[in-house]
Amino acid sequence: MTQNRLSNTYINTWQCCINTSCVILCREGEGHGSSSVPLSFDASEDKKMAALRVVVLSGIGRAFLCTPKMIKAPRANMSFASLPRSKKVALTTLGVLTTGGAGLALMLQQSVKASDLELHPPNYPWTHSGMLSALDHASIRRGYQVYKQVCSACHSMEYLAFRNLVGVSHTEAEVKVLAEEIEVVDGPDESGEMFTRPGKLSDYFPKPYPNPEAARVANGGALPPDLSYIVNARHGGEDYVFSLLTGYCEPPAGVEVREGLYYNPYFPGQAIGMAPPIYNEVLEFEDGTPATMSQVAKDVCTFLRWAAEPEHDQRKRMGLKVSWQGGANHCRNRNGCNQKCICNLGCIQ
């Protein structure tokens, strides 16, 4: 607004200067005997040009021509800082509402999944979870007893053979006795007939059902999973299995579980078709350990960890040997000798 006023003022000044110059030329003409008629702005082109030269050569003309801001078109100032406070508040509020609306729309678009409502298991302090910690082999033996007497009625472990127990939880003689307790269909014999025989070390653990269809029929349509690698197949490993076995409880108020299912907050959907498999004194351990629910769950989880990772202890021992050997080589090279070294303890003479 101010620039427009200044521009109009300079334009009016320009026109006045031209008219004034024309009048001066007329008066000069009067002094030389010329006509005394005043020279208007509509005079001849020669006199207009003469008046324009007078204006340009004058101080006012030079000042006008040296002012570039006065001959440029005005620019609109649309910066946020130049806006009034009320407009700033309005624009800020509009931005906040737009962002909030977009976030709300995104949240409403995403559907709620049952997996988002399940309870995540805590991290239990397993004795074998340390970098240099081995599996508790006494717990593995008790865990196998839990599987044999409780879990094997519904769950298979088709990738585990009896020979795998030798030297881990049982002696060879003990495992042979365990294997001979089952009957294996073998054959054909010389006459082409199938026959049954006692189990042996090379046989795998028996399956509770002949096929998956029979397993579904016996369990109300649910298929019991194989337990050979269950701790690797489930997120949380043995933490999840332990929490699932000990997590059965009554459903909270407002939650209904249909008939044939059991409420378990750690299972996806919180409704599981497996009845609570363990409880206090569900069996008697051979070594006399009290068979509390937590002890039974802990032992079977340790057994399942070994079944899924039988090289657990050997892998940790190998890692320790590699680290030891690497430290010895580093010390040998650093000391410049050929003696056997143990990390930073110096050379062994």
Give the span between the Cα atoms of 208 and 214, in whole angstroms: 10
CA 86 to chain centre: 42
Question: Cα(222)–Cα(272) distance, rounded to whole angstroms?
Answer: 9
Nearest to 231 by CA among 323, 129, 138, 325: 129
Distances (CA, A) of 246 to 164, 258, 263: 28, 21, 12
φ and ψ at residue 198, rounded to 5 degrees: -70, 150
* 194 is annotated as contributing to ligand binding: no
Query: Which residues are registered as beta bridge partners of 299?
Result: none
Helix axes 45-57, 2-31, angle to 10 degrees: 120
Phi, then psi, of 199 in degrees rounded to 5: -70, 160
Q: Taking Cα atoms as reference points, which of 281, 308, 255 lies closest to residue 119?
A: 255
The tokens of 105 are what?
């729309």
Tell me: is residue 341 an annotated ligand-binding position.
no
Backbone dihedral angles phi then psi of residue 292, each to the nearest 5 degrees: -75, 165
User: Per the annotation, does 151 bind a ligand?
Assistant: yes
- Phi/psi for 334 (5° steps) reads -70, -40
Q: Quick one: tokens of 267?
A: 């299972």
Q: Quick check: helix, strand or coil at residue 261?
A: coil
Amino acid identity of residue 85, one-letter, is R
Q: Which residues are annotated as a binding site?
A: 151, 154-155, 274
Q: Which residues are annotated as a binding site for heme c?
A: 151, 154-155, 274
